[in-house]
Amino acid sequence: MAPTVVTGAASGIGAATCAALREQGREPLTVDLHDADINADLGTPEGRQHAVDAVLARSGGVLDGLALCAGLGPHVPDPARIVSVNYFGTVAVLDGLLPALREGEQPAAVVVSSVSSTHVAWDTNPIATAVESGDEPAARAAVAAGGEYRGQLAYAASKNALTVATRRRVAEWGAAGVRLNTVAPGSVDTPLLRAGMDDPRYGQAIREFVAPVARHGTPAEIAAAILYLLGGNAGFVHGAQLVVDGGVDALFRPTTF
């Protein structure tokens, strides 16, 4: 069996996805900043290229799956880096590994987006024009100028752009025989969420918000959704965004879906 690559594998949803794969007898090929099979910074062009090259070398150019879990939350000090990791880093790895996935057996890829992807419309997304042209400096500049809450703007805009990028690839990836979907988690009990709760700008809002299912999700619950989308039971699921958020999106957008 060819490997399944997991980015952001050292913690949170990525670590839970690795654990779920191992429970199925599948050893993941892990990518993260540290403590991974391949240590790489997806926030830089050099780090992205290193990740892709190292995965191709370690896998022999054949992959059965890809779970792109790496991402940054709105609390990080440099909001521009959120765009670089969440959007540009993810898309570079996604596209760079398509040839290897094409060689796999019933291959599939899952991108971890966010329910926040629905909080910004593509027509008003401040980084839309920049990502359309692949202009990373312009996208970074657009969110850096976003005011006090530019971290949340960068997060929602990057996840919206990521979902759009995934959906726009359905024809090419379908023709290549590789299914591609996104998972959109809500509030999940991860180190990223806990760091956000400690942030003076966002912490109170995070703590006070309660989903219709009145708790945070667990990384294992998101990993279960990822493994479903990677597996054969989802063989006709392609270009979908599976929302796993305790009912938040339905609460706020009951007529928009």
Enzyme catalytic residues: 155
Query: Please, what sign has the CA dihedral across residues 173, 7, 200, 185?
Result: positive
Distance CA 10, CA 114 (A): 19
Write the DSSP assignment of 65-98 as a string of letters. EEEE-----TTSS-HHHHHIIIIIIHHHHHHHTH
Radius of gyration (C-alpha) of the chain in whole angstroms? 17
Cross-strand bridge partners of residue 254: none
Q: Go through 96-121 and write b for each residue having 16 or more CB atoms within 10 A of its CB, e for each that does not.
A: bbbebbbbbeebbbbbbbbbbbbbbe
Show Cβ contacts of residue 148 under 8 Å, excluding neighbours closer than 6 positions.
201
How many Å from the N-terminal Cα to the C-terminal Cα in the chain?
Answer: 37
Distance CA 2, CA 59 (A): 7
**How many angstroms from the chain centroid is the CA of residue 248?**
19
